[in-house]
């Protein structure tokens, strides 16, 4: 063998090695039952796979890796602990879905203005387990028009306090103590009902507002408000602001171009929860509806597939803290 054959062989091996590695890696990825999912900012493609399929009860192995910034992986309506994805670090996880259905997976760490669009679906196939048809959300049952304006007929002169309301020592009328009717009633409507009730005759207008706040606290527990605060910080504060005033860091970047038809032509600012005229005219059911269904072209995401009803009610319980004081 001529001496340079050795050299030629060596260089050829080196030159071929790279394409072979490429092909080998690609083929290995295709044949394996493990799904490798790359996470990118929504503007750069989002999740590399947006639909996954698995049979009920079968394990779904995922290799998750972020290709740019910090992302997170979680599944809506499940108790899976969200998995943080640090850039460039692969995380392996195995998921098992006992029940068939469609599950939404989503990103849990803000990764740009279109973070909330980073979602996909896992279709879990299998024999349908007979279950009760899911209840429609309260806003649908009540037939609330989510897009109609809802100005409050009256607003308080000072910030209502639930503790002051409790101190007034008034027995609430039965209609106001009932949860489902409380959820259907806006605070302004509650105020009007309380004002009309004889038991509040000696109280000032602001005192009656304190009673309205107390009504809120009678069904919103500490745990619920705390859960709502955490959900707000993680999901809402980026646009709505940590102070709830609609001045969050993402507020100026709401992606007008990607909104479908049916929205207004000018980008709207995120809702200002500190605006009494707007907030106090909305019932908790309306807020639940807005959160569940989204904003129909305003840039407000729809959280229905991601948050459970209980979580959304916790959020609405928390939202009233922008209007009411919990304590004196």
Q: Can you give the binding site for other proteins, defined by CB under 8 A?
A: 2-4, 6-8, 10-11, 14-15, 17-18, 21-22, 25, 41, 63, 65-70, 86-92, 109-113, 233-234, 236-239, 241-242, 248-250
Between residues 86 and 175, which has the closer beta carbon with respect to other proteins? 86
Structural tokens at position 200 = 């509040």
Task: Compute the least distance from the CB of residue 310 to other proteins, in Å.
Answer: 22
Distance, in Å, from the CA atom of 123 to the CA atom of 101, rounded to the nearest integer, reads 6
- List all residues 6 or more positions away from 209 whose beta carbon is below 8 Å from its beta carbon: 156, 158, 160, 191
Q: Which is nearer to other proteins, 66 or 288 (CB)?
A: 66
Distance of closest approach, residue 88 Cβ to other proteins, in angstroms: 3
Burial of 37 (0-12, 13-18, 19+ CB in 10 A): buried
Q: Cβ 15 to other proteins, closest distance in Å?
A: 8
* 232/242 Cα distance (integer angstroms): 8
CB of 70 to other proteins, least distance (A): 4
CB 247, min distance to other proteins, A: 11
Q: Looking at beta carbons only, is 114 or 283 nearer to other proteins? A: 114
| Rounded Cα–Cα distance for residues 220 and 257 (Å) | 38
Nearer to other proteins, 22 or 196 (CB): 22
Contact predicate 199/175, CB 8 Å: no
β-bridge partners, 36: 63
In the complex, least distance from residue 95 CB atom to other proteins, rounded to whole angstroms: 17
Report whether 184 contacts 287 (CB < 8 A). no
Angle at 294 between CA 288 and CA 244, to 5 degrees: 70
> Which among 282, 279, 327 is positioned nearest to 160, based on CA atoms?
327
Q: Between residues 38 and 185, which has the closer beta carbon with respect to other proteins? A: 38
To other proteins, the closest distance from the beta carbon of 69 in angstroms equals: 4
Q: Give 43 or 121: the residue with its C-beta nearer to other proteins.
A: 43
Q: How far is the C-alpha of 197 from the C-alpha of 118, rounded, in Å?
A: 49
How far does Cα 186 stand from its chain's mean position?
22
Q: How far is CA 227 from the centre of its chain?
A: 13
Using an 8 Å Cβ cutoff, are 326 and 163 in contact?
A: yes
Nearer to other proteins, 56 or 69 (CB): 69
């Amino acid at each position: 063998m001529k001496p340079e054959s050795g050299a030629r062989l060596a260089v050829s091996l080196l030159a071929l090695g790279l394409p072979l590695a490429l092909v080998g890696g690609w083929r290995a990825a295709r044949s394996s039952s493990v799904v490798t999912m790359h996470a990118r900012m929504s503007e750069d493609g989002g999740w590399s796979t947006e639909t996954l399929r698995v049979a009920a009860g079968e394990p779904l192995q995922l290799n998750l890796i972020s290709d740019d910034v910090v992302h997170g992986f979680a599944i809506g309506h499940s108790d899976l602990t969200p998995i943080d994805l640090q850039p460039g670090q692969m995380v392996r996880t195995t998921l098992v879905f006992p029940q068939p259905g469609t599950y939404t997976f989503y990103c849990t760490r803000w990764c740009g203005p279109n973070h909330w669009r980073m979602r996909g679906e896992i279709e879990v196939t299998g024999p349908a387990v007979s279950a009760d048809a899911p209840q429609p959300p309260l806003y649908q049952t009540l037939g609330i028009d989510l897009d109609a304006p809802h100005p409050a007929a009256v607003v308080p002169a000072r910030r209502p306090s639930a503790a002051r309301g409790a101190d007034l020592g008034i027995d609430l009328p039965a209609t106001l103590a009932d949860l489902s009717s409380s959820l259907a009633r806006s605070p302004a409507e509650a105020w009007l009902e309380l004002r009309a009730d004889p038991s509040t005759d000696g109280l000032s207008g602001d005192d009656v507002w304190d009673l309205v706040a107390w009504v809120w606290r009678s069904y919103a527990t500490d745990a619920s408000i705390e859960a709502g605060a955490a959900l707000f910080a993680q999901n809402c504060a980026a646009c709505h602001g940590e102070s709830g005033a609609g001045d969050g860091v993402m507020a100026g970047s709401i992606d007008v171009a990607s909104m479908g038809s049916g929205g207004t032509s000018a980008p709207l600012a995120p809702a200002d929860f500190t605006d009494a005229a707007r907030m106090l005219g909305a019932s908790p059911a309306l807020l639940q509806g807005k959160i569940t269904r989204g904003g129909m072209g305003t840039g407000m995401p729809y959280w229905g597939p991601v948050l459970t009803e209980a979580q959304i009610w916790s959020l609405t319980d928390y939202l009233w803290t922008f209007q009411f004081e919990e304590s004196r």
